[in-house]
Amino acid sequence: MDSVHSECPIWGTPASELTLGHRHIYGIDSPRAGGEYLIAHGLAQELLKHALDEATKAKLTTWLIDERWLGNQRPEVTRKAIENARAAQRISVPDRADRVLRCLAQKLEKEETGTLLAVDGYSDYPHWTGEDAPGKAYLELLAHLESPHPTKGGLMALLWELEREGLIGRMALPGGSPGQTPSPLKIPVTVPGFKRAKDLAQAVNTADDRVFVAMWFHESTEEVWKKGIGPAIRAAGYEPVLVKEQHFTGPIVDQIISEIRRSRFIVVDYTHGKAGARGSVYYEAGFAYGLDKEVISTCRDTILEKVHFDTQQHNHIAWVKGKEEELKTKLRDRITAVMGDGPLKGQKSER
């Protein structure tokens, strides 16, 4: 793959390869796939030789966009992700309109001049003339539209509907004729449109059964995770998510933000060692509070008086070294009281 100008392994459209310094992973910036993603070299070459069917490409692109909106700026395309996309349901027409609006609003906020795109219905893809070419914006809109083919996605119909609802301003249809590049179409987003886009950004796809756990990764906290926190969350009917136990290739901060956004609530253990408070734990708790998610706090009894004063007003569940199973009972009861039993209650063993 060319390091300056390449092909998107998913769509076969123009893309740029990112410099990662990783021997076995490509970083791809593809407008047709909605932005940046990671993919193993072998899988990328396989997709370039044996293309996915059009519907799977579109649904995989929707998944990539959802991941970025959850905070994972470079999601990794794997075989499992492809299979999940193949089995996924197509998004509804109202959802497509919402996605297009959100894309337009984001671009307008960045560019401050409106979004310019060339809607070319006479060829398979718009003319590509550089990084800032109108064609790039068109490809990005197709990505958000979950459109398998640019001439069949109903982009203009959705834009007209957004205009009719007052979410975007009046559009001027591009000029041009078959075989020629049409004039760019400038699409302004109205104040109600920006408000709608903001509401959409805050409506995160939260999983009912996931619980993010923020804690100090250390041998002294292994037992409290294995015998206390993890089993308590499962006993209450939820699935605990600990970043330490996950496998991924992207930046860890992106993964953490993404997982917190997905989670129903989070459990934070403020236990720390001689080096003092763990800044990452406080960051993760603060991020969750910012998303208005419930935060349930725990801490080792000998450390409780040392937690930062900003969190001292919260009702921490204190645990004692060697009595981690007592924490399991207390935490399970707290979760049930605050959040109710989770959807996995009775479905999984308390491992």
pLDDT tens for 284-324 read 999 898 888 899 999 999 988 887 766 666 789 999 999 99
How far is the C-alpha of 284 from the C-alpha of 24, rounded, in Å?
30
Least confident of 278-287, 300-309, 337-346: 300-309
Give the count of alpha carbons within 13 A of 175, CB side only.
Answer: 1
Average pLDDT, the chain: 82
37-46: long-range pairs with CB below 8 Å, 24+: 37/64, 37/74, 37/75, 37/76, 37/77, 38/74, 38/75, 38/76, 38/77, 38/249, 38/250, 39/9, 39/76, 39/77, 40/78, 43/9, 43/77, 43/78, 43/79, 44/1, 44/9, 45/9
Identify the H or E element spanning 287. Answer: helix 279-290
pLDDT tens for 20-38 read 776 788 899 999 999 999 9
pLDDT at 80 over 80: yes
pLDDT band at 173 (very low <50, low <70, confident <90, very high): low
pLDDT tens for 180-236 read 545 567 788 899 999 999 888 877 666 678 899 999 988 889 999 999 999 999 999
User: 15 phi and psi, to 5 degrees?
Assistant: -155, 165
Q: Residue 158: count other Cβ atoms within 10 Å of its Cβ.
A: 21
pTM above 0.75?
Answer: no
Q: Between 121 and 122, where is the model more confident?
A: 121
How far is the C-alpha of 194 from the C-alpha of 206, rounded, in Å?
23
CB distance 205 to 99 below 8 Å: no
pLDDT at 4: 39
pLDDT at 152: 53
Would you list the DSSP string of 73-138? SSPEE-HHHHHHHHHSPPPPHHHHHHHHHHHHHHHHHHHSS-EEE----SSSS----STT-HHHHH
CB distance 190 to 169 below 8 Å: yes
Percent of the chain with pLDDT over 90: 43
How far is the C-alpha of 90 from the C-alpha of 296, rounded, in Å?
36
127-141, 182-196, 225-239, 271-285: range with highest mean pLDDT:
225-239
Domains of the chain from N-terminus onward: 6-87 (no CATH), 93-201 (1.10.10), 210-339 (3.40.50.450)
Over range 342-349, report the average pLDDT: 74
- Two tokens, residue 257: 């933000």
Q: What is the CA radius of gyration of the chain?
A: 24
